[in-house]
Amino acid sequence: MRTKLSRVLPSEWDIWLPLGVVAVFIAAAVVMVAVGFSFGIPEGDVERIHILYTEIGVQTTAGIFAIIISLSLMAIQFAAQEYSHRIMEYYLRSTVFWTTIVVYLTVITSGIVLQAQASSNDDVRAAALLLVATMLALALLIPHFLVTAAYLKPEFVVGKLIRRLDQGYVRGVARRGVPTPDAGRLLPIVELIERSIDRGDLTTMRGALERVQATYARVGAPEHDAIVDHYFLDGLLRAGRKAISQADEQQAAVLAIRTISAMRREQNASMVVDALEELGFGALRRDAPVAVGEMISATAEIAEQAKDMDLRARVMTSYAELGQRLVRADQRRLLRQLTGIVVLAGIEAAERKEVTRAQGSIGLLEELGHDSAEARMSQVVMDVGKGLQQLGTAIADVDPAAAQAVVLALLRVERTIPRHERDLLGVIEFARADLERLVGAATAPRAAVDGADGDAPTDGDVADAPGGATANDDPLGLADLWAGSKD
């Protein structure tokens, strides 16, 4: 019933419903007085009037009043303990609470006064009006129950709090500024989200995050103001930190990351990336791989759509640091995810003829392959090899020199692989040979390859090269790369 009412009545139905009931009974009382209707109460019937004044006007109303106020406050106190102490604060300031108090106290007081002045000459219309007021008090139990029950639902409280984040307030934030999320109208919503995380109530958390994001899109983003962006993002970042701190609530952290990512606009992309990186690296420290994977995907999407080249470069730099940490944490699935994203970014850059971006992807893939090979992560190294092959093929027609850089990256990764990893070596060698045929092996610069090691090959080193190669069989001078191969 409460859901149907919320759909039919305006958004502030908890205000208009009790006031509407009061207005109906006031109108009925006015009409009753105008037409002289008095419920058939006979003039001079002191006994009946006495019953109306005492047993109905005072005793019954006072008893009901005490019960409903005490029960409603107990219920609201329970909800406040579960979610936020502010629920009690808002309920005590609600329209239905004060309407109920005013009506009941008016009826009780009127009954006492009329009883004290009762006589055989009393106007029966006064008793009739008191009877109407008592009916009003009873009728108010319906909206009182509906509104009190609604306050027990956190989504109802979130809705009331969200409506306070209107256009006027947001413009005030843009003018005056709110330095932290620990002040202002967003704070109660963030606190409720944090309590939902503590209780494992993902439904409430998801609903609150979605409404904050929708409110930002409606009244925050159109302001194009950095202070407003910071205000919303800092509030959600606080909720995200809370989610990250709960080791068993990775899904909560994922929801926070998705919400922050959805708030990305061209003017605040850098701030969004900052927030996502903080949550992602924090999740890695808390051993929350699902959240880290969500951060990788979110930042990759932002970098792909960003027009700012500096932002794209910064994301790749962040990936380089993240890759090193993932290797140390032995997060192989995340490393494979990161590798795939870097490969796709490099191929996209090659297709757009953005050679500098593509070269950044090549360098990052080489680092991932080298570190993974040293950590004996064979599947990750295979992914790096295949990715470099795809990237080299995509960029060969755009910039042959960049394709040669891919060949050199494969050679450096190949050198790090232990010789007993024959399957892995086969994948890397195939990828390298395929690219050498594509770009022309004779054009590969010997000096650049020698720079990968720095030590000149010896006769013994050359003799150990695959296939028994000699110095004369090595026109590219690549045998020195096998000199330091790990057995």
Average pLDDT over residues 104-127: 76
Q: How many CB atoms neighbour CB 4 within 10 A?
A: 8
Give the residue, 42 or 140, on which the prediction is more confident: 140
Q: How many CA atoms, within 13 angstroms, populate the side-chain half-sphere of residue 32?
A: 20
Q: How many CB atoms neighbour CB 78 within 10 A?
A: 13
Give tens-digit pLDDT for 340-399.
999 999 999 999 888 888 999 999 999 999 999 999 999 999 999 999 999 999 998 888
On the question of pLDDT at 445 being above 50, the answer is no
Please identify which residue in the block is written with the tokens 């109303």: 61
Distance CA 110, CA 19 (A): 20
Percentage of the chain beyond pLDDT 90 is: 29
Average pLDDT over residues 314-340: 93
pLDDT of residue 475: 38
pLDDT of residue 275: 93
Give tens-digit pLDDT for 161-219.
888 888 888 888 888 776 555 567 888 889 889 888 888 888 889 999 999 999 888 88
Q: Give the residue ranges of DSSP H helices in 117-165.
A: 124-139, 141-151, 154-164
Answer for the pair 302, 269: CB distance below 8 angstroms, yes or no.
yes
pTM exceeding the 0.85 threshold for the entire prediction: no
Average pLDDT over residues 394-421: 89
On the question of pLDDT at 314 being above 80, the answer is yes
pLDDT of residue 425: 87
Per DSSP, the three-state class of 52 is helix
Q: Which residues contact 365 (CB under 8 A, 6 or more apart)?
A: 339, 342, 343, 346, 384, 387, 388, 391, 409
Give tens-digit pLDDT for 236-254.
999 999 998 875 668 899 9
On the question of pLDDT at 481 being above 50, the answer is no
CA 363 to chain centre: 32
On the question of pLDDT at 330 being above 80, the answer is yes
Give tens-digit pLDDT for 41-58.
666 555 666 666 777 767
Distance CA 155, CA 167 (A): 21
Query: What six digits make up the tokens of 343?
Result: 């490969």
Distance CA 122, CA 128 (A): 11
